[in-house]
Structure formats: structure tokens, C-alpha cells
Amino acid sequence: MPAIVIIGAQWGDEGKGKATDLLAERTDYVVKFNGGNNAGHTVVVGNQKYALHLLPSGILTDGVVPVIGNGVVVDIEVLFDELNALSSRGVDVSKLKVSANAHVITQYHRTLDKVTERFLGKRQIGTTGRGIGPAYADKINRVGIRIQDLFDENILRQKVEGALHAKNHLLVKIYNRRAIAVDEVVEDLLSYVERLRPMVADTGLLLNEALDAGKTVVFEGGQATMLDVDHGTYPFVTSSNSTSGGAATGSGVAPNRLERVIGIVKAYTTRVGAGPFPTELNDESGEWLRARGFEFGTTTGRPRRTGWYDAPIARYSARINGVTDFVLTKLDVLTGLKTIPVCVAYSVDGVRVDEVPVSQSDFHHAVPIYEEFPGWDEDITGARTFDELPKNAQDYVLAVEAISGSRISAIGVGPDREAIITRHDLLGALEL
């Protein structure tokens, strides 16, 4: 059975949670392999809406084992808050497994995230202030705290002391904030140990054994391709690898076991935070997309920047990730438009560029070149087959598919769990 990676192919908020949930009933394990509680998935089940931030969306499906991999940074307070909220609504959360090697977000990470962002002034990155970047920085600087460290108080105390030695000087002397006491941090982290202990596992071993036994494993990426720390619009990116390669490093499953990569794209484009965005609409059309698509962050509530579909970005994502299938979401949002522009290339200093420029400066100054397609007025939220879509909606999907670098295998036509059209089975055999 396959190991399948689901990634965002734009700047996030494309609907990855819904796609993961679509597959979850036919899978055995759903794995979050990167990021933290700095992004959210909204999943609608019946008349119930669930907003998840740290947990894999597969936790909402009976029989699925949700896994938080080693590539995730975990705010344990947020983890337990989410588990409590789901339990209170009757969701079984007992199967959750958390990697012993996942890094922990502490209170000093959250503090540093907020004060450094404010200190940047006009050069702010647009972080969520939840400590994700500082936690990953500590990981790379080899002063991070892992989940397994919480079970040895002596080791934990030594690591907190080491991490705070330089950070307290920074907080006090540069940012004019109070020093953070080692005891304060240690006591806070130790308070979670007993509840956390049954969840912790060697998740890399667990997942490899599952694949050996013929189980289906879905890897769910946080954020998206254009926010990847290596391949995104650096420095306006997240602090982890949110592309398909991150599924291997963030889970302990080898790349040659990842058989399929599903890229999620909206029928238009959104972005949260600062950074270049060629198709951004700072006009009535942008406001219309934001209102129609309810484009506000699941985690932060911030209004998302909105723009038309960007085919060069889709092609870039297809190439970087090895996308085998696209899921096109929120097609219904475009209903009512007379014409729908699609960015097919850019103009950079008057020269047509068909691919995403490698130069950040060029990308920042790229002007979209649009082709326009006829819109439709019919309500498509009840469509469950491609043929049930209006002809103009079909033509839009086919035109986008032809210029995006991979086939469109599923189409989201509404917020409900079942509001999706399947053109190619996402778990079926790949066509050669």
C-alpha cells in the first residue's frame, strides 16, 4: 500500500486538511511532518466545523492513527488544549502518537518570537508569534529540547540552562525584558510529563513497520511550498521544509517509500504575512475573493491577501515536489464572475518569464501576464461528478490543468466534507 505526501502548492491555506480527511477513511496513519501550531486546518464534518492547529487532521477519522513526527515543533500546552477540545466534542484522541525526537516550543521561544518581530519594525517577517522560528533555530544550533528530554529531569534542566544562558542576556540587555528563570521553564515542562508519556513513541520505527505490514500512510505537510525555508520566498518563509522532501526528514521514512505526492491548490491564490505575491489584488476584486472565500487565518484570524490563480507557481510546485496529482479547491468561490483571470507568465523588466524567477528581486517585481476565461453563474456546490459542472467551469479546470504541471485529480466545490469531485482515484494506481 502507498505512502502518500500531501503538500500545499501555493502559500498555504489551500485546503490540505480537507484533502487529508478525504483520504483518511481509506488510510491507516496520518502523519504531520513539519511546522507547529503556526498554521491551521479547517475540516467540516456534517454540520460540525473543526479548526486544528497542531494535530493532524486524520485525528477526526475513526480507525486512523494520527502521528506527530520528529520534524514538528510541539507546544505541549497547545497540544493538550486541542486534545481536550476534541475530546469534549466526542472525538477519540487516544491513538495519537508523538515522536520522542520532536522538538519542544517553550515559553522563552514564544517570548523571543514576539519581541524580535517587534524589534524588526518595517522589516517584519509576519510570524504568528507562537515561537516556531526560535524553536527551529535552537534545533539547528543544537540547543533545542526534545520530547524525550522531558523524561529525564537532570538532562532537561541542563538543556534549559544552556539555552537560557545567552537568551536571558539578549532579553535583558537588548530587548529590555525580564530574564526567564530556569526553574520556571523546567517546572512548566515537567507538569506535562505524565499525560504525555503514553503518547510518545519511536514514530519512525512505527511508520516503517506499518508500511512493511501493507498499511497506507498519509504524510500531511504544514504551510506550503512557497513558504519552504529552502524553496520558498525567503526570508518570508516558515522555518521548516514544507515541501515533499520534508516528509522523509520529518518522519524517518525513506524517500523511496514515498510513492505519491498530492499538491493542493486553490482555484485562486492567497497569502498571509509579508513577502512577494505577483497576482495580489489590492482592489474590490481582492475584497470580493476574501469575503466569498472567507479568507481569514484559521490560527491567527488575520485577513489573507488574495489574488488570481498563478500557473507558474503551480508548475514550480509540481517540479519541486514531484507532484503526481493536484487537488483544486474552492472552485465554488469563483461562481458569479463574468471572467476569471489566470496568471500564465510574468513580465520582468519588460521581458516575458514563464517560470518563477530564481532572483527574489525579480520575483518581487514580477508583473503577472493574464489570460481570461469565461465565468459561470450556476451553483456548483452540489456537483459530484465533473460532467455536472457547468461547461465554463469544466473549461476553467481543464485550462488550469494544462498549464499547471500535473493532472487535477479532485476538485473542491464547497466547504462540506463530501463537497468534492473525484476525477482520478488518489489512492489508485498511477497511470504511466
CB neighbours of residue 40 within 10 Å: 20
- The owner of cell 476565461 is 373
> How far is it, in rounded angstroms, from Cα 283 to Cα 268?
15
Closest CA to 228 of 345, 317, 344, 326: 317
What values do phi and psi take at 427, rounded to 5? -110, 0
Catalytic residue among 21, 28, 41, 325: 41
Grid cell for residue 417: 466534507
- Strands (DSSP E) contained in 94-252 are 97-99, 103-104, 200-201, 217-220
> How far is it, in rounded angstroms, from Cα 231 to Cα 237?
9
What values do phi and psi take at 172, rounded to 5? -80, -45
Closest CA to 163 of 190, 187, 139: 139
Answer yes or no: 41 catalytic: yes
126 forms beta bridges with none
Helix axis angle, 182-190 to 107-120, nearest 10°: 120
> How far is it, in rounded angstroms, from Cα 343 to Cα 354?
10
Catalytic residue among 13, 21, 75, 138: 13
Answer yes or no: 169 catalytic: no
Grid cell for residue 142: 543544537
Q: How many residues does the structure list for the chain?
A: 432
What lies within 8 Å, CB to CB, of 321 at 6+ separation is 5, 7, 9, 225, 243, 244, 261, 263
> What DSSP designation does 234 have?
T
> How far is it, in rounded angstroms, from Cα 252 to Cα 400?
35
- Which residues are identified as catalytic? 13, 41
